[in-house]
């Protein structure tokens, strides 16, 4: 049972990290980024290609994170150049178009055959009592918790973070008061791209070593669910949501009778959350 929960924490923390990237862009860029995993996959598959060519793993991982950061910056450039003053619906639609384009290009570049990934975090393994904590678990938890705490503090407690929120709310007004909104858009997308690559690296080097490109791209669904738990605003609730989804998925996968339906849990979760968040509007309408 403890081993099952531990494996759930690995994938759940990675879901949380991806969800935190989505939440970051939602708060700072005014967009629901459906392309988040597609951007991260460029870096993680670059890592796989380089590791196959005997490149040191740490260097391959660093290059992979940089590649996704550049892809993220390119996406941010598109948003800043042509959609800076668009509403969130338009920008999110552009993100869907970017997702489709990046997945098409990525599948063409890297193929869709399952790839074996090397173990990246073996040195971080710990033993607590009778439970052996995999290095991927340690790295995944550290990344997600540090991301949540750092992003929350940066956005809510620093002068730059407050300025970024002003930019997200009113890009044109932000430009008028001297906030370089276009440069900040590119920077935010680049940071989110690099972080998503690191999260995807943890996934492919831990619990999903034989997954292919297309199936890994579907991790956007639990990542969006985690961000939805946090209402695309609260980093800590996004973290909790990602961890909860990972453990729930691990528990379902451990039961042979329902393991085939593990990926179906997200639809009812989304519906329940949406109904719950809209309950006040419905009740107010009925009272009126």
The answer to whether the CB of 213 falls within 8 A of the CB of 41 is yes
Mean pLDDT in residue range 137-166:
77
Q: Which of 24, 64, 3 is nearest to 200 (CA)?
A: 64
pLDDT of 134 strictly over 70: no
Q: Which pLDDT score, from 0 to 100, does residue 167 have?
A: 61
Percent of the chain residues topping a pLDDT of 90:
21
pLDDT of 72 strictly over 90: yes
**46-60 per-position pLDDT tens digit:** 998 898 888 888 898
pLDDT of 285 strictly over 70: no
pTM of the model: 0.83
**81-131 per-position pLDDT tens digit:** 888 777 888 888 899 999 999 999 998 888 888 777 777 766 656 565 555
**263-276 per-position pLDDT tens digit:** 777 777 777 777 77
Percent of the chain residues topping a pLDDT of 70:
76
Please, what are the domains in the chain? 2-261 (1.10.3470)
pLDDT of 192 strictly over 80: yes
pLDDT of 6 strictly over 80: no
pLDDT of 157 strictly over 50: yes
Distances (CA, A) of 102 to 34, 76, 182: 11, 14, 22
Q: Which pLDDT score, from 0 to 100, does residue 34 have?
A: 92
Distances (CA, A) of 91 to 75, 186, 198, 199, 259: 11, 14, 25, 24, 36
């Amino acid at each position: 049972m403890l081993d099952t929960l531990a494996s759930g924490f690995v994938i759940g923390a990675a879901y949380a990290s991806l969800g935190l990237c989505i939440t970051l862009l939602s708060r700072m860029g005014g967009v629901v980024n459906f392309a988040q995993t597609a951007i991260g996959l460029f870096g993680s598959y670059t890592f796989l290609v380089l590791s196959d060519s005997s490149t040191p793993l740490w260097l391959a991982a660093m290059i992979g994170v940089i590649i996704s950061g550049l892809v993220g910056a390119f996406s941010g450039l598109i948003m800043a150049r042509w959609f800076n003053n668009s509403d969130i619906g338009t920008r999110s639609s552009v993100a869907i178009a970017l997702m489709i384009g990046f997945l098409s290009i990525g599948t063409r570049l890297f193929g869709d055959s399952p790839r074996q990934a090397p173990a990246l975090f073996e040195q971080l393994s710990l033993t607590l009592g009778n439970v052996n904590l995999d290095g991927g678990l340690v790295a995944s938890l550290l990344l997600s918790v540090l991301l949540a705490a750092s992003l929350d503090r940066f956005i809510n407690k620093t002068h730059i973070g407050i300025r970024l929120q002003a930019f997200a709310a009113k890009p044109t007004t932000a430009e008028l008061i001297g906030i370089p909104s276009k440069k900040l858009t590119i920077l935010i997308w680049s940071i989110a791209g690099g972080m998503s690559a690191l999260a995807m690296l943890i996934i492919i080097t831990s619990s999903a070593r034989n997954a292919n490109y297309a199936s890994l791209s579907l991790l956007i669904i639990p990542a969006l669910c985690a961000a939805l738990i946090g209402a695309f605003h609260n980093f800590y609730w996004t973290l909790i949501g990602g961890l909860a989804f990972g453990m729930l998925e691990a528990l379902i996968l451990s039961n042979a009778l329902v393991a085939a339906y593990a990926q179906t849990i997200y639809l009812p979760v989304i519906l329940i959350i949406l109904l719950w968040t809209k309950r006040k509007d419905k009740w107010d309408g009925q009272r009126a």
